[in-house]
Amino acid sequence: MPDSTAAITLVCNGPGELTTWVRPLARRLHELLPLRPLVPDAPFSLRLVLVPCPNATGAEHGVAEGWQLFERIWPAHRFWGLLLRPRRHAAWPRQGVVVFLGGDQFWTVLLSARLGYRHLTYAEWVARWPRWNDRIAAMGPAAADRLKPRWRQRCTVVGDLMADLSAQARDEAPLPPGEWVALLPGSKRAKLQVGMPFLLDTADRLAALRPGCRFLLPVAPTTSVQELLAYAGPANPIQQHYGTGEPRLERALPAPGSGTAPSPLAGGRALVTPAGTRIDLLETHPVHGALSQCRLALTTVGANTAELGALGVPMLVLVPTQHLAVMQAWDGGIGLLARLPILRWLLGVALTAWRMRQRGFLAWPNISAGRLVVPERVGAITPAEIAAEAADWLDHPAQLAGLRDDLRSLRGQPGAVASLAELVRGLLPPISAA
């Protein structure tokens, strides 16, 4: 007689994948199936396991808890104990599915084997362990074509999960009128330490060049307004290299209504620089609707470039290398070396020079296209240079429209989240009909 319950376990690592992959899929699964915790007596439960990742902030567990979509959530620091003795951490049904949505694919292979569950991998570029995947959901033909012929029957091309962001964004309320520019300094310490003073200085200079500009800063769910203020003020040693001074926090100005839907900025707060530049903070999530209405974005590298690309928002991708701290935010061996207390100072200059010579594309639209679609500004860049370039882009709306069209052509068609959810349902045991 079959077990009366089954568990769907999503596995993820960092903040970008959590908000753009895990959350949409979790919501779709709740629409498709009766799942605990939203349906208390349901035969299925939805669970989340976070795996160790150098790019995680440590706040992912709290963010996911706030969504109230999961019966249980395991933070990254408990992953090894969960892997070694899973039933010591929770009661696990005999049947279930483990879904890879970020991190190292091998950890989900091990977890599914340990639980005796079926396994599905969402592969952006490559499925590394097809022998142990019951199903593979490929982002596109490139990932599917890299599989050996004997594994291709397990693979379905579902599309880019982020392609659904634009469809969701259309349903959100409009921003107040204005020439909106988004500022995305990042969510990790090393990026915020450079990104906040750099972007505030850039905003001051851009506002002087184009007084009609309005600025929007989405507060990442894994950070806080208090952290942004700290990195923008004198407590941050990098701030002294920029001329903004310490901003103050104010209530956002009332937005004139353009319809019945309230502005996404209603009741919010804003940073105001000593020069008087107002930067509206967007503290609610998701932020895709507001971002999609921006003419231009100034952003660091990371998953935010994938989100902006999926929304079709033109962007300048910024990596100021004049501050060694920025290297601590990079991925891979370079980032690990730069974090070591002794080596980071001895090797900092050499690592920066080598990285600049050897680097490939950094922004996800460029990586995806294999060519330069959005500008990447890497090196000892200055706020004055970036403000001038941003003003030039804003002066040429036809060029911005062309860039937006290029990004939309890369995005693909919506529907990947629904297709992936169907694959998950197909791996569940027969009680799915109960």
Q: Tell whether 155 and 37 lie within a shared domain.
A: yes
Distance CA 425, CA 432 (A): 8
If asked whether residues 249 and 332 sit together in one domain, one would say yes
Residue 152: inside a domain, yes or no?
Answer: yes
Q: Confidence class of residue 1 from pLDDT cuts 50, 70 and 90?
A: very low
CB 67 within 8 A of CB 28: no
Residue 164 in domain: no
d(CA 293, CA 314): 11
Using pLDDT thresholds of 50, 70 and 90, give the confidence band for residue 81: very high
Task: Give the lowest-confidence range in 89-93, 209-213, 263-267, 287-291.
Answer: 263-267
What pLDDT is recorded for position 59?
Answer: 85
Choose between 415 and 261: higher pLDDT: 415
pLDDT in the model for residue 370: 87
171 compared with 73, residue with greater pLDDT: 73
Dihedral sign (CA 301, 315, 258, 250): positive
Task: Please check whether residues 123 and 231 belong to one and the same domain.
Answer: no
Average pLDDT over residues 105-119: 95
Please report how the helices 397-411 and 303-311 are oriented relative to each other, as an axis angle in degrees rounded to 10: 100
Given pLDDT bands bounded at 50, 70 and 90, which one contains residue 259?
very low
Residue 10, phi then psi, degrees to nearest 5:
-90, 135
CATH code, 57: 3.40.50.2000
Whether 1 maps to a domain, the answer reads: no
Q: Are residues 365 and 217 in the same domain?
A: yes
Give the pLDDT confidence score for residue 254 in this predicted structure. Answer: 59
Comparing 77-81, 179-183, 277-281, 342-346, the range with the smallest average pLDDT is 342-346
Shared domain check, 407 and 283? yes
Share of the chain above pLDDT 90, in %: 61
The verdict on 292 and 382 lying in the same domain is yes
Please name the helix (run of DSSP H) or strand (run of DSSP E) that holds residue 301, with its range, or none.
none
Does residue 31 lie within any of the structural domains?
A: yes
- Asked if 356 and 321 touch (Cβ cutoff 8 Å), the reply is yes
User: Do 109 and 191 fall into the same domain?
Assistant: no
In a domain? residue 201: yes
Q: Which of 192, 415, 102, 162 is nearest to 308 (CA)?
A: 162
Q: Is residue 336 part of a domain?
A: yes
pLDDT in tens, 87-109: 888 899 999 999 999 989 999 99
> In whole angstroms, what is the distance from residue 310 CA to residue 408 CA?
7
* pTM score of the predicted model: 0.81
Whether the CB-CB separation of 414 and 164 falls below 8 Å is answered with yes
Q: Is residue 350 one of the residues assigned to a domain?
A: yes
Q: Is residue 136 domain-shared with residue 191, that is, in the same domain?
A: no
Token pair listed for 350: 């050499």
Q: For position 70, what pLDDT does the model report?
A: 97
Domain of residue 234: give its range. 169-411
Q: Are residues 395 and 420 in the same domain?
A: no
Claim to verify: residue 44 and residue 186 sit in the same structural domain = no
pLDDT of residue 335: 52
What's the pLDDT tens digit per position in 164-222? 877 666 656 788 999 999 999 988 887 899 999 999 999 999 999 999 999 999 998 88
Structure tokens at 263: 């502005």
388 and 273 assigned to the same domain: yes
End-to-end CA distance of the chain: 14
Q: How confident is the model at residue 85 (pLDDT cuts 50, 70, 90)?
A: very high
Instruction: Say yes or no to pLDDT of 227 above 50.
Output: yes
Same domain, 137 and 187: no
3-state secondary structure of 194: helix
139 occurs within a structural domain: yes
Contact call for residues 271 and 200 (beta carbons, < 8 A): yes
Average pLDDT over residues 226-254: 87
Q: pLDDT tens across 309-339, in order?
A: 989 999 999 988 887 544 544 444 545 555 5
Range of weakest confidence among 289-298, 329-338, 372-381: 329-338
Number of domains in the chain: 2
CB neighbours of residue 193 within 10 Å: 23
